[in-house]
A and B are shown apart, each in its own frame.
Chain A
Amino acid sequence: MFVSYKWLQDYVDLSGINATELADKITKSGIEVEGVEKKSEGLKGVVIGHVLEREQHPNADKLNKCLVDIGAENPVQIICGAPNVDKGQKVAVATVGAVLPGNFKIKKAKLRGEESHGMICSLQELGFESKLVSKDYATGIFVFPNDTEVGKDALEELGLSDEVLELGLTPNRSDALSMLGVAYEVGAILGREVKWPVIENEEAAEKASDYISVKVEAKADNPLYIAKIIKDVKVGPSPLWMQTRLMSAGIRPHNNVVDITNYILLEYGQPLHAFDYDRFGSKEIVIRRAKDAEKIVTLDEAERTLTPEHLVITNGNEPVAIAGVMGGANSEVKNDTTNIIIESAYFAGTVVRKASKDHGLRSEASARFEKGVDPARVREAGERAAQLIAQYAGGTILQGTAEVDELTMEPAVISITLEKINTLLGTGMTVSEVESIFKRLQFGVELDNETFTITVPTRRGDITIEADLVEEAARLYGYDNIPATLPIGSATPGQLTDYQIKRRKARRTLEGAGLYQAVTYSLTSQEKAAQFALETRESIRLAMPMSEERSQLRLSIVPQLLEVVKYNNARQLDSLALYEIGSVFFKQDGQELPEEKEHIAGAITGLWESHLWQGEKKPVDFYVAKGVIEALFDTLGLADQISYRQAEINDMHPGRTAEVLLNSEVIGFIGQVHPTVQKDLDIKETYIFELSLKALAEAEVAPIAYETIPRYPSTTRDIALVVDKATKAGDIQSIIIEAGGKLLKEVGIFDLYEGERMEQGKKSIAYSLKYFDPERTLTDEDITKAHDNVLAAVKEKAGAELRG
């Protein structure tokens, strides 16, 4: 909402307070003033001129040579290119030395051999947006009314020296979508009266109801409809002051009748519509829901198809307007219109909202109906329009109205105690302070002891409950005056849940291992949504995505991390270690909401360790990545419950990928991205993992129980086993652990040899086995017995031979 500082003074006394101060006070009391603009700032030297002579420029077809009286001693010659300039016009002249928007300075010039002492201006050249300029002057200079005084400041005449406050209104404050509404707000802030326009209409003996009847079939949508008839109007331009006020509020002037309806919209917040009575097509107005597939051509010449969800004004036969949204072309007020119907009505917000949304027609009118107009102003707004039309377009106002009025207006009555206000705000306001606030708001106040009974005017439809009154009290009392305290009450233990602690531990572990946390988008493309997904399940698509790239909810995090790798690789950042913790989303049969699972994923590429001046360089490989997740499992106390199984997963390297199992359930995978995929993405060799954090965090973990530090020495035996290349080290290890019995406490691998000296298809793995007994020193026999068991078991179960 744009509010002209000058115009506002018609309704509330602003003496002693300038526009900037006013803006600050309004902001502090609850409506944010987003800016104060004075369009004439920095402009000068533009005066009203009178074109005394105009002739064709001798050397240029499209230029005019004009002699213009600018109120100076002598008229000046100005060359003007506007097609509509003519003798006798009053125009805006930027004189020599003038400054126009964009710091454009006007100098004496010679145009095709003819001197030009200034410039005749269009409104655009004076800083008006093209969309605000009346269509009559859209491509030429602006012509002032004939009685405009020559030599006067044209910027002043155009209202450009006015200051305009831009209010950022929250949806609840639609009461401030009118000058009167803003006047009430300012009046409450300043403690000043609100002055209403005085309406004294002279009406003819002829009755409006003899010219038209009103029938409402959809009374819930339209409980109040008032039609006034004005005869013998003369359509023409509206007065300049009205045009400039409309433009300052962001509305383009058309003609006096239309401008007046818009002026009332701004003044009262009540949208009106004017129909051409003679083109209306009947003598009855019927308001009803549209029929299915019914059509109307609206003022913008577009044919629109209606549905029964839309409310229409009809002539009993066909629609002449979409209620509250836009009028029809068939009954439009045109230059030759003489008799008009003024519609002032209350339309329900929902039905207007539906139509404006369906037809993509958001207008000043629809916005106000959607948010709810003040029912108390509907009648008066119609009368005010009639007054202004009679005044500025001539014509005769017919007596009375044709109307349907079934609107019940019950102002809200709310009781509240002083204590309630002070308790909710933490303040110590007195009865008289609170009373004064409600009185300044011009609410009805009855006071009984310390209980206020407040009657809320219908213009403040946003106030319906106690809390709303508390807010009114708070904002006018001033939030700066509210003290700062901390809640006192029963103490509550502040703590993270077990799950949240584990998530943080996971973060710490991965960071400790050298990974940086990334955060990527949950929305992705159809193609990427299911790539690398741990579970083959259906993904979820947005009903109306903004782009295909962000149309689908992800089933896995890895594709997003690979995008991050790609981004960084493209910037010569080759060594990367990243992880992300985030939700993935699976469609659930029979459930509305998807299943959301938190996953933890990582991507590692480039060099893992490098200390170049010492000649150390270790590229990332499978075992680097595996070490990272092993550390994670260890932190979470799950090392014993995790195992790995060679696996083939789409888009993963077929030989370098493993499923990760928690007990016997697959909860993730780890491995190298398939080289083809790496090539497609243009990324280097990259190892990834994705695990279900949910599964990890929810797994049962054994409590920590102290184990005696051994007092007796342990004995270590090393064995090198020759096995088939395909045999898995992990399998042999399991065999060793099982066969070693309770004396075998630790098994480690210290060497792997697959070189030339091995027999074809064989490899050698060297294990180190540590035996001890916490109760005694082991004898050689004890160890040999256990160790022989191990050797026999690996030979039998894995065909392993001791390496000679």
Chain B
Amino acid sequence: MMQERLLELQEEALQKVAAASELKELNEVRVSYLGKKGPITEVLRGMGKLSAEERPKIGALANDVREAIASKIEEKQKALETAAVNAKLATETIDVTLPGRPVNKGNLHPLTRVVEEIEDLFIGMGYTVAEGPEVESDYYNFEALNLPKSHPARDMQDSFYITDEILMRTHTSPVQARTMEKHKGQGPVKIICPGKVYRRDNDDATHSHQFQQIEGLVIDENISMSDLKGTLDVFAKKVFGQDREIRLRPSFFPFTEPSVEVDISCKICGGKGCSVCKQTGWIEVLGGGIVHPNVLEMAGFDSKKYSGFAFGIGVERIAMLKYGVDDIRHFYTNDVRFLKQFHHHEA
């Protein structure tokens, strides 16, 4: 009789738990069935009438019933709580496709970007970065580089003179001359020299009275033209891509002998010939050569013991080729629509 009553209560309570749709309702079920005034407690009060054998059985059953109800209530409570949270979160849904709050960020000028990339490449190969004044003496800009005052090659670079003896440097080579002098005839010297240079040119799509160069210089025992070729090959592949090739052509610079012009294979046509490379498959990118013995000697190096190579790169030219910029003036106009294009890292 009591046993049936308990099972009946369990059945009844579980049905109510299942039916409860709110936490409040569920709590009412808990109080009414498991509370001190609840029906199970009431049933247990009548246990005194039972035999000694039956008493523990009913007691155990009553506990099982209580636990069963309590466990279901707990289960249900969790479910209701989760549902309540979910319902609340559902009202908080946002449009994730709306744009985020912009974080201010700027970027390097494309020329600096190229310079830093090249600096880092050469630093990795054991070079240091040497710098020098943009206003130079005629001596360092020309004479120390095997360009005496009467030298016809001075015509090649018409210059902005300030007085007869000082001028806006026409290349970063004077930094090489100054660095060599500081080494007092002791090798090795391994430097690259980035910087602004100036020439008397009218500004147009391909000329700028101010531009940037990076020159490199290595002086040590047994430095050869093949070392220059290998070094520039590393440079070309790093800056323009692993599939680029280089080609050396004989040329003339007063401070190097032999001198070379260096071409890279055209990226656009892959060497077949197109309008960018003027149908040659090659694009001229820089000049260099073996340091002229006069330049070594003037800077205090024994040209019998030491040899060296030097090269010079036009930064604008590299940037124009690398990024496809068609007018050198863009670099100095600083239209922000131009500047903002050079922000991400390229693979």
A32 within 8 A of B: yes
Query: What chain B residues lie within 8 Å of A171 (beta carbons)?
Result: 151-153, 155-156, 252
| Residues of chain B at interface, number, CB under 8 A | 89
Beta-carbon contact of A423 and B222 below 8 Å: yes
Query: What chain B residues lie within 8 Å of A492 (beta carbons)?
Result: 126-128, 188, 190
Query: What chain A residues lie within 8 Å of B131 (beta carbons)?
Result: 500
B88 within 8 A of A: no
Query: What chain A residues lie within 8 Å of B260 (beta carbons)?
Result: 479
A220-228, A278-286, A603-611, A729-737 - the one binding chain B: A603-611
Beta-carbon contact of A491 and B126 below 8 Å: yes
Query: What chain B residues lie within 8 Å of A27 (beta carbons)?
Result: 249
Beta-carbon contact of A474 and B250 below 8 Å: yes
CA distance A334 to B258 in the complex (A): 48
Instruction: Name which residue of chain A comes closest to B195, CB basis.
Output: A583
User: Residue-by-residue, is A549-568 near B (CB-CB < 8 Å gives 1, otherwise 0)?
Assistant: 01001000000000010011
Beta-carbon contact of A466 and B249 below 8 Å: no
Given A500-B129, A550-B209, A573-B336, A517–B292 Cβ distance below 8 Å? no
Beta-carbon contact of A543 and B134 below 8 Å: no
| Residues of chain A at interface, number, CB under 8 A | 94
B13-21, B27-35, B49-57, B96-104 - the one binding chain A: B96-104
CA distance A424 to B256 in the complex (A): 12
Beta-carbon contact of A494 and B258 below 8 Å: no
Instruction: Name which residue of chain B comes closest to A488, CB basis.
Output: B222
A205-213, A236-244, A506-514, A674-682 - the one binding chain B: A506-514
CA distance A544 to B159 in the complex (A): 10
A468 within 8 A of B: yes
In this complex, the member of B126, B200, B257, B292 whose beta carbon has the largest number of chain A beta carbons within 10 angstroms is: B257
A94-102, A156-164, A592-600 - the one binding chain B: A592-600
A449 within 8 A of B: no
In this complex, the member of B103, B104, B153, B202 whose beta carbon has the largest number of chain A beta carbons within 10 angstroms is: B104
Query: What chain A residues lie within 8 Å of B336 (beta carbons)?
Result: 516, 568, 573, 576, 578
Instruction: Name which residue of chain A comes closest to B164, CB basis.
Output: A543
B interface: dominant SS: mixed
CA distance A493 to B153 in the complex (A): 36
Beta-carbon contact of B339 and A518 below 8 Å: yes
CA distance A264 to B136 in the complex (A): 43
Query: What chain B residues lie within 8 Å of A582 (beta carbons)?
Result: 196
Instruction: Name which residue of chain A comes closest to B154, CB basis.
Output: A171
Beta-carbon contact of B133 and A596 below 8 Å: yes
Beta-carbon contact of B107 and A517 below 8 Å: yes
Beta-carbon contact of A494 and B166 below 8 Å: no
Instruction: Name which residue of chain A comes closest to B119, CB basis.
Output: A496
Within 8 A of A (CB), among B98-138: 98-99, 101-109, 111-112, 116, 119, 122-129, 131, 133-137
Given A171-B152, A523-B209, A487–B339 Cβ distance below 8 Å? no
Shortest distance in angstroms between B90's beta carbon and chain A's nearest beta carbon? 22
B36-44, B58-66, B74-82, B326-334 - the one binding chain A: B326-334
Beta-carbon contact of A564 and B257 below 8 Å: no
CA distance A72 to B212 in the complex (A): 65
Beta-carbon contact of B225 and A426 below 8 Å: yes
User: Residue-by-residue, is B183-217 near A (CB-CB < 8 Å gives 1, otherwise 0)?
Assistant: 00001101000001010101000000110000000
Given A425-B226, A514-B104, A496–B116 Cβ distance below 8 Å? no
Beta-carbon contact of A497 and B334 below 8 Å: no
A590 within 8 A of B: no
Beta-carbon contact of B337 and A573 below 8 Å: yes
Beta-carbon contact of A484 and B221 below 8 Å: no
CA distance A706 to B312 in the complex (A): 45
Beta-carbon contact of A486 and B227 below 8 Å: yes
Given A424-B224, A489-B221, A592-B166, A515–B249 Cβ distance below 8 Å? no
Shortest distance in angstroms between B170's beta carbon and chain A's nearest beta carbon? 13
Beta-carbon contact of A424 and B307 below 8 Å: yes
Query: What chain A residues lie within 8 Å of B227 (beta carbons)?
Result: 426, 485-487
A173 within 8 A of B: yes
Shortest distance in angstroms between B212's beta carbon and chain A's nearest beta carbon? 8
Beta-carbon contact of A470 and B111 below 8 Å: no
A529 within 8 A of B: no
B230 within 8 A of A: yes
Beta-carbon contact of B108 and A546 below 8 Å: no
Query: What chain A residues lie within 8 Å of B151 (beta carbons)?
Result: 171
A716 within 8 A of B: no
Given A424-B224, A489-B220, A516-B107, A521–B332 Cβ distance below 8 Å? yes
Given A474-B258, A479-B250, A550-B209, A424–B225 Cβ distance below 8 Å? yes
CA distance A522 to B167 in the complex (A): 13
User: Residue-by-residue, is B315-347 near A (CB-CB < 8 Å gives 1, otherwise 0)?
Assistant: 000000000000000011111110110000000
B165 within 8 A of A: yes
A520 within 8 A of B: yes
A483 within 8 A of B: yes
Instruction: Name which residue of chain B comes closest to A550, CB basis.
Output: B209
B150 within 8 A of A: yes
Beta-carbon contact of A349 and B334 below 8 Å: no
Given A350-B150, A353-B150, A546-B202, A489–B226 Cβ distance below 8 Å? no
**18 intermolecular pairs with C-beta atoms under 8 Å apart:** A171-B156, A423-B307, A424-B225, A426-B229, A467-B258, A482-B226, A485-B229, A487-B218, A494-B126, A496-B128, A496-B129, A519-B112, A522-B210, A550-B209, A578-B336, A592-B163, A593-B135, A596-B135
- Having A423-B307, A479-B250, one finds 6 other A-B pairs with CB under 8 Å, namely A479-B248, A510-B106, A517-B108, A518-B339, A523-B168, A567-B333
